């Protein structure tokens, strides 16, 4: 836009300067002399060979003068004299005062045969267009360079995003020789360290589980050959529970490291609760009393993980209450109610695994509730705690903030 404004400014400046030269040329012609054409040529003006009437009829008037008009005709500027109204009394008075008497003043004052002045100087726009195309070329080059940078940035973003979905990290390749390549290099270095830590954790976990599963397996074998039926059943139950706990540890480890892909399906709430009670492996599940609405409540969840979370809450309720535990499934919510003293304020932050103030013998570390809360968050649900009428109430409901 600024170029067009500058172009218009130069055109107007050229018109004004040409008009000044025409005025100077008119003065030269009035002064007379044999060298008028040469003197006019010095300022870029010549006598026009065109008919004045033709110029006026087909040209565009740029400026009006007292005795002549500046007209643009065929891209050339002319200074064309006016036709004087010789019949006007003031003109006749001037001629009479000058002692010039005639019967036809219009014949004497006619400008029909007075040649118009023609401009020979053309506006030099070469520097303007050189600047214009130079800046346009530089702008285009900058645009191409910027576009290349943006495409490389988009490619880097795509590769970083893809790296998050792959189980095995592959270094990002960016051969741009600029800051993007340095960013890619730093990202590769960081991701390689994370990948090494992940592999070390998996190896450590496999070794630990192997060390735990070996004695559990031996214990189950010994329990199977024991001749005391009652003792054998107790041993089998103990080792079966240990095996289930180990499997849950693997499950939770995968969940916490985001290696567990949730499989959402619709399940009846009563089926989820039934599976959670199976996972408890307790003899006192008869203390769990279930209250449901007439219409079957449906939850869209991952079957195994959600049942594990419910199992953790039920386990805590049964462990810290001697009376019955109520499970209320009403209007899309799970409520687990048990009698007991209110939880300490320091233990109400379910986003923390351990709390130094609550790590005392027999109090528990809150790991079960932490795991349950993380599972509910993954499902877009919220775990709330209420203490009312000497009852601890854990409510699982939809998170209204999502």
- In the numeric block, which tokens belong to residue 201? 């954790």
Confidence of residue 29 (pLDDT cuts 50, 70, 90): confident
3-state class (DSSP) for residue 354? coil
What is the C-alpha separation between 360 and 351, in angstroms, rounded?
19
Q: How many helices (H) and strands (E) does the chain have?
A: 11, 12
Whether residue 53 is predicted with pLDDT greater than 90 in this model: the reply is no
Q: Over pLDDT 70: what percentage of the chain?
A: 82
Phi–psi pair at 115, nearest 5 degrees? -65, 140
In the block, residue with structure tokens 């218009």: 8
pTM exceeding the 0.85 threshold for the entire prediction: no
- Average pLDDT of the residues in 25-43: 82
Q: Which two tokens stand for residue 281?
A: 């492996």
Other C-beta atoms closer than 10 Å to the C-beta of 89 total 7
pLDDT 10s digits, 145-194: 888 888 888 888 888 887 777 777 778 787 777 888 888 888 888 888 88
Residue 302 is given by DSSP the state E
Report whether 59 contacts 71 (CB < 8 A). Answer: yes
Decide yes or no: CATH 3.30.565.10 for domain 263-398.
yes
Dist. CA 14–CA 32, nearest whole Å: 27
**Alpha helices by DSSP H, 32-111:** 36-42, 52-58, 89-97, 105-109
């Amino acid at each position: 836009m600024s170029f067009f404004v500058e172009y218009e400014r130069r055109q107007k400046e050229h018109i004004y300067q040409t008009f000044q030269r025409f005025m100077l040329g008119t003065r030269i012609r009035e002064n007379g002399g044999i060298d008028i054409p040469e003197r006019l040529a010095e300022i870029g003006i010549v006598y026009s060979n065109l008919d004045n009437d033709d110029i006026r009829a087909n040209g565009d008037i740029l400026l009006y003068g007292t005795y002549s008009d500046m007209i643009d005709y065929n891209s050339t500027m002319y200074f064309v004299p006016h036709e004087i109204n010789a019949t006007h009394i003031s003109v006749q008075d001037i001629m009479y005062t000058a002692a010039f008497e005639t019967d036809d003043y219009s014949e004497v004052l006619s400008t029909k045969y007075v040649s118009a002045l023609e401009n020979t100087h053309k506006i030099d726009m070469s520097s303007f267009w050189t600047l214009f195309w130079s800046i346009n070329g530089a702008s285009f080059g900058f645009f191409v360079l910027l576009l290349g940078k943006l495409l490389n940035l988009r490619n880097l973003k795509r590769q970083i995003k893809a790296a998050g979905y792959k189980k095995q990290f592959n270094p990002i390749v960016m051969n741009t020789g600029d800051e993007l390549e340095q960013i890619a290099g730093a990202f590769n270095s960081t991701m390689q360290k994370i990948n090494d830590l992940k592999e070390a954790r998996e190896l450590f976990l496999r070794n630990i589980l192997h060390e735990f599963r070996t004695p559990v397996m031996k214990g189950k074998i010994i329990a199977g050959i024991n001749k005391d039926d009652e003792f054998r059943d107790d041993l089998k139950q103990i080792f079966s529970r240990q095996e289930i706990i180990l499997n849950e540890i693997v499950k939770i480890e995968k969940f916490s490291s985001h290696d567990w892909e949730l499989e959402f399906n619709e399940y009846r709430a009563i089926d989820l609760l039934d599976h959670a009670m199976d996972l408890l492996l307790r003899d006192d599940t008869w203390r769990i009393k279930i209250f449901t609405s007439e219409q079957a409540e449906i939850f869209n969840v991952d079957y195994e993980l959600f049942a594990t979370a419910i199992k953790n809450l039920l386990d805590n309720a049964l462990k810290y209450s001697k009376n019955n535990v109520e499970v209320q499934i009403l209007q899309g919510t799970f409520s687990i109610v048990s009698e007991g003293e209110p939880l300490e304020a320091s233990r109400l932050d379910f986003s923390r695994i351990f709390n130094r103030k609550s790590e005392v013998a027999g109090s528990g570390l809150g790991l079960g509730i932490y795991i349950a809360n993380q599972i509910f968050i993954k499902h877009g649900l919220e775990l709330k705690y209420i203490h009312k009428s000497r009852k601890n109430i854990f409510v699982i409901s939809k998170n209204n903030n999502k």
